[in-house]
Amino acid sequence: MEALATEWRIRTRNRSAAGVRELLGLLSDQGFAWRDLARMIGVSVPAIQKWRRGEKASGENRLKLAGLVAAIDLIAAQFQIQDIESWFEMPLLDGAPVTPIDLWSDNQAFLVLEFASGHLDPETALGRFDPTWRETYDSQFATVRGQDGYLSIRPKGQQ
């Protein structure tokens, strides 16, 4: 995992040479919504819009943008994930609506990289993100197949 962290740091430094508008353009080309980018960077949508118009971003925010672009580069190149923006929106596990966007927004960027690499299964990734995820997303209902062969739901514990 140290090699993955080092590769991400190198790519982030390389990407940080680009301007904010260029970084936003690359993210936009990937299909990311401005609201998702704002959330992942930790700023407002109006801040993103200002940067798109050429206003300056802080060095910290520029580095965050570069880190996100670098992570996307790394995920696409090394882990063969296509349609990266859509992948970021996919829940890690059925029944738990936590996505890589949620992880990234919670400053868990390396967790996203570990999950993308396949070194973490969804349950482990969710456990690192939220140790109470099983209780948080536990449903009172179960999916069952009826005698007619169709799926339906019923309260858990009911026969």
Q: With CA atoms as reference, report the closest residue to 113 among 146, 87, 94.
A: 87
The Cα 120–Cα 113 span in angstroms is 9
Domain extents in the chain:
2-88+109-120
Backbone angles phi, psi at 118, to 5 degrees: 90, 0
pLDDT by 10s per residue, the chain, length 159: 899 999 999 999 999 999 999 999 999 999 999 999 999 999 999 999 999 999 999 999 999 999 999 999 999 999 989 899 999 999 999 889 999 999 999 999 999 999 999 999 999 999 999 999 988 887 777 778 888 988 888 887 776
Q: Which residues of 121-130 are buried (b: 16+ CB within 10 A; e: fewer)?
A: eeeebbebbb
- CA atoms of 46 and 38, how far apart (whole Å): 9
Q: What is the pLDDT of residues 70-91, one digit of tens each?
A: 999 999 999 989 899 999 999 9
Model confidence over 47-72: pLDDT tens digits?
999 999 999 999 999 999 999 999 99
